[in-house]
Structure 1
Amino acid sequence: MPGSPSERVLRTHLPQREAAPGVSVRAADLSLRLDGGGNGLLDTTHFDTVRFPPPPWVAADMAAAIDNGAWAYSPYRGDPTVLEALSAPISAFLGSPVASSNLALTPGTQGALFTTLAALVNEGDLVLLADPDYLFCERILAFLGARVERVPLVFASAEPSLDLDVLEELILQKPKLLLFSHPNNPTGAVYSEAMIARVAELAVEGDFLVMVDELYSRLVYEDTPFHHLRVQPGMAERSITLLGPSKTESMSGFRIGVIVAPDAVIDTVEQCLAMTSLRAPAYSQHLLARWLVDDHAFLAERIIELENLKNLTIEKLSTVAGLVLTPQKATAYLFVDVTAFGATDVEIAAALQREAQVIVSPGYQFGARGTGHFRICYARDEAEWEAALDLMVTCLGAFAARAGITS
């Protein structure tokens, strides 16, 4: 039939996971109108960029860039002056030498994720993916025809960790790539140095690449140490790190992301950029000159504000019987466990839309181990969010009552 989706697109519906939401993930998304537009509801799938705007210098720098018409075009991997300016602050941030040849700029970190995977992954390649993890990872890999095996995120000890026993077993199958977010999206988990070091050892032993999405690596609470994968022995040659200002600095609308990778990977990524977007938005590229340099005071204040909102969210939701919270030390997300209610992710998300006027990210989106959860972003206007939380508590309390949970 004319206009029918390709087999590649149909694979992204993940029909093999129908048992979790009860339908394919695409059908579940459509039933909840999860199209990124909000549809007039309070949308907790992302930051409130009205309450949390970008740093004050962004508007002036963007206007200056637009005034310079010569900046409208750049090489596909990014403006050379921007790449050169970024190499020192990124080196300092990651604790590992980064040359301009190790960098490419993309249309957001979403563009970085798709472009890099498209550049490296062949049909049938084995890719290992954390479970749960960012919702579009598995869908992009399905589009590319990869064979995906999930590595569980476990909280059995004091520190969250990828299940290293499972990872050790899977490397016997010769994976092409391991992919995970750090801090973890959706849970906000920060991994220990010991875990990161062991992942690096296994990558060298198994001779595979590791792609780590560190988009939230600056949004960490309580002075929690953050350990970058690239600094580990042998990982400058086999790691791919995704960075960007879209969340911590609320610059999602400027569509700018950064890939840090070996020269050969960047060369291949550049070819994909040329075929998809040509380049990251050229004027936005120049906003990165002050990122990681002039925004430390801004970031410190933002972390305090978000931690206060985190505490408010935990305080309110903790009053719901049967609901389980496992707050972590990074991001602006809370991954809420509602398995005790005996309802599906779709049913709970639909009720929250209907009765609380709030959009949440249902757990099935993040992988099989996300089932029975939902993710909320608490980076919202305080008064609006407190009122919304009260409605959510009432809605979720009704589920607890129907399940016979009283304490």
Structure 2
Amino acid sequence: MEQNPEPQPRSQPGSRLESRRLRATHLPERARLIGSSVREADLSLRLDGAGHGLLDTTHFDTVRFPPPDWALETFALAAGDGELAYTAYRGGDGVRRACARPVAELLGVDVDPDRHLVLTAGTQSGLFTTLSALVDDGDTVALADPEYLFVERMLRFLGARVVRVGMVDGPDGPQLDLDALDEVAGNGIRLLLTSNPNNPTGSVYTEETVRGLARLAVRHDFLVVVDELYCRLVYPDVPFFHLAAQPGMAERTVTMLGGSKTESLSGYRIGVVVAPPEIVDAIEQVMAMTCLRAPAYAQQLLTRWLVDDREFVRRRVEELRVIRDLTVERLRQVDGLVVRPGAGTAYLWPDVSALGLSDVAVARLLQREAGVVVSPGYQFGPSGVGRFRVCYARDEAQWEAALDRMVKALNDTPDRHR
């Protein structure tokens, strides 16, 4: 478990333009693991989301995997009606009413459209507005390790004391370490944040893990923010259990949902947060101060999400399963690389530690020799050092050629085992 260090004294006025809050998000303490701050490592690898002409596996290929046919039609129709341009800060009344029933069916909980739903500018905005509404400076927040790369940065920006809770490996893939969480929670925490399916590992929490997490939340009386963005991208024969449906958790759980990945709606910037009424009210206040509302025309897509896309999602999951298996097979041709297929998401989490190369070195090598951008493991937490994340939701022909280049680059580098 890793804790962030004590805040450093503010530099002299005028010596830097960045606020102390922003500098904290650079995670300078990670230098003892990777030789620099996280921010400096990101800059050295040009990890700014642009891709820079390389094949960028930090996100889905939305050309090969486009949104459903109805997405553009629904957006264009909404954009032609100026009456839809302004909505309540928590989202349009009609959209929330349309969402409530399918979201309730998905999660297995009661969902009142006026009290339990807030629409956000993507799940990223949902995470930030939720944490901003709930976390005070100095609060202790437990965060899964590894976990989505921007969450710790958000928490550090808010002044939280972050305590990492690791995963334990097992036959069902990495699972949250409930014993470690019990110990951390015993000292008092404001909330726990985790994702299920987990980003970056692709693991899906078992029923035992979900029930155990619920029992600890009730026993120690803490909130849980669970990012379930990929809950529909779970491979066949893998059961999925929603935390909010567990006993005592409806009033303690904030669930993040959206269509940005499974349905490729990322460009529309629309997300859904399901939470107790008091938390929805608090999130709405932050929404009003940051972006006023989720993109108003894009909100209308949620009237068809979870309703008209079921066959679409079924086909997509099967297509991604085939590419996942191909990717695992090909990457295992790298001598010493350890890679295990995930039960959900479109990510793999290979372990490069046996190659004698750091995750930073591997990311740089793959950019230079294979023309491929991967996400180095340090971005996701201390346990990620020595790994990288790759998104295999790509055009099959381009991806096979890229895999050839990646395998060759990793097998041929003279720096292996140095």
With structure 2 as the length reference, what TM-score do the two structures score? 0.95
Cα drift, residue 304 of structure 1: 1.1
Q: Say whether residues 1:397 and 2:406 are aligned partners.
A: no
- Three-state SS of the structure 2 residue aligned to 1:336 is coil
Counterpart among 332, 339, 348 of residue 325 in structure 1: 339
Cα drift, residue 2 of structure 1: 7.2
Distance in 2 (CA, whole Å) between partners of 1:158 and 1:93 is 23
Moved more, 155-164 or 253-262: 155-164
Cα drift, residue 224 of structure 1: 0.9
For 1:72, the aligned partner's letter is: A
Distance in 2 (CA, whole Å) between partners of 1:44 and 1:187 is 15
Moved more, 232-241 or 3-12: 3-12
Q: Say whether residues 1:110 and 2:132 are aligned partners.
A: no
1:326-345 pair list within 5 angstroms:
326-345=340-359
Counterpart among 180, 183, 201 of residue 187 in structure 1: 201
Cα drift, residue 137 of structure 1: 0.7
- Three-state SS of the structure 2 residue aligned to 1:200 is helix
1:228-377 pair list within 5 angstroms:
228-377=242-391
1:59-70 pair list within 5 angstroms:
59-70=72-83
Identity in percent: 58
Show the counterpart of 2:11. none
Q: Say whether residues 1:136 and 2:157 are aligned partners.
A: no
Show the counterpart of 2:43. 30
1:49-88 pair list within 5 angstroms:
49-88=62-101
Distance in 1 (CA, whole Å) between partners of 2:164 and 2:15 is 35
Does structure 2 conserve the Cα–Cα contact (< 8 Å) formed by 1:151 and 1:163?
Answer: yes
- The verdict on how the C-alpha distance between 1:139 and 1:401 changes in structure 2, with shifts beyond 3 A counting, is closer
Show the counterpart of 2:181. 167
Cα drift, residue 398 of structure 1: 2.3
Distance in 1 (CA, whole Å) between partners of 2:240 and 2:209 is 12
Question: How many corresponding residue pairs?
Answer: 404
Cα drift, residue 3 of structure 1: 6.4
Structure 2: gaps (5+ residues): 1-13
Does structure 2 conserve the Cα–Cα contact (< 8 Å) formed by 1:159 and 1:192?
Answer: no
Cα drift, residue 400 of structure 1: 8.0
Distance in 1 (CA, whole Å) between partners of 2:197 and 2:150 is 16
Distance in 2 (CA, whole Å) between partners of 1:204 and 1:230 is 12
- Three-state SS of the structure 2 residue aligned to 1:148 is strand
Distance in 1 (CA, whole Å) between partners of 2:135 and 2:385 is 27
- Three-state SS of the structure 2 residue aligned to 1:115 is helix
Cα drift, residue 399 of structure 1: 4.1
Distance in 1 (CA, whole Å) between partners of 2:33 and 2:161 is 19
Cα drift, residue 223 of structure 1: 2.7
Q: Say whether residues 1:97 and 2:110 are aligned partners.
A: yes
Does structure 2 conserve the Cα–Cα contact (< 8 Å) formed by 1:321 and 1:400?
Answer: no
For 1:214, the aligned partner's letter is: E
Show the counterpart of 2:231. 217
For 1:244, the aligned partner's letter is: G
Moved more, 156-165 or 47-56: 156-165
Distance in 2 (CA, whole Å) between partners of 1:398 and 1:155 is 30
Q: Summarize deviations over 1:317-367 as a string: whole Å, max 9, x none.
A: 111110001212100000010001222211110110000000000000000
Q: Summarize deviations over 1:58-78 as a string: whole Å, max 9, x none.
A: 111111000111000101000
Does structure 2 conserve the Cα–Cα contact (< 8 Å) formed by 1:322 and 1:400?
Answer: no
Q: Say whether residues 1:226 and 2:240 are aligned partners.
A: yes
Show the counterpart of 2:9. none
- Three-state SS of the structure 2 residue aligned to 1:19 is helix
Aligned CA-pair RMSD: 1.2
For 2:28, the aligned partner's letter is: P
Cα drift, residue 156 of structure 1: 3.8
Show the counterpart of 1:8. 21
Distance in 1 (CA, whole Å) between partners of 2:348 and 2:174 is 15
Cα drift, residue 401 of structure 1: 7.5
Distance in 1 (CA, whole Å) between partners of 2:83 and 2:285 is 23
Does structure 2 conserve the Cα–Cα contact (< 8 Å) formed by 1:341 and 1:400?
Answer: no
Show the counterpart of 2:57. 44
Structure 1: gaps (5+ residues): none
- The verdict on how the C-alpha distance between 1:308 and 1:156 changes in structure 2, with shifts beyond 3 A counting, is closer
With structure 1 as the length reference, what TM-score do the two structures score? 0.97
Q: Summarize deviations over 1:366-400 as a string: whole Å, max 9, x none.
A: 00001100000000000000000000001111248
Cα drift, residue 158 of structure 1: 4.4
For 1:14, the aligned partner's letter is: L
- Three-state SS of the structure 1 residue aligned to 2:34 is coil
Q: Summarize deviations over 1:212-235 as a string: whole Å, max 9, x none.
A: 000000000023110000000111
Show the counterpart of 2:3. none
For 1:224, the aligned partner's letter is: V
Counterpart among 384, 400, 403 of residue 386 in structure 1: 400
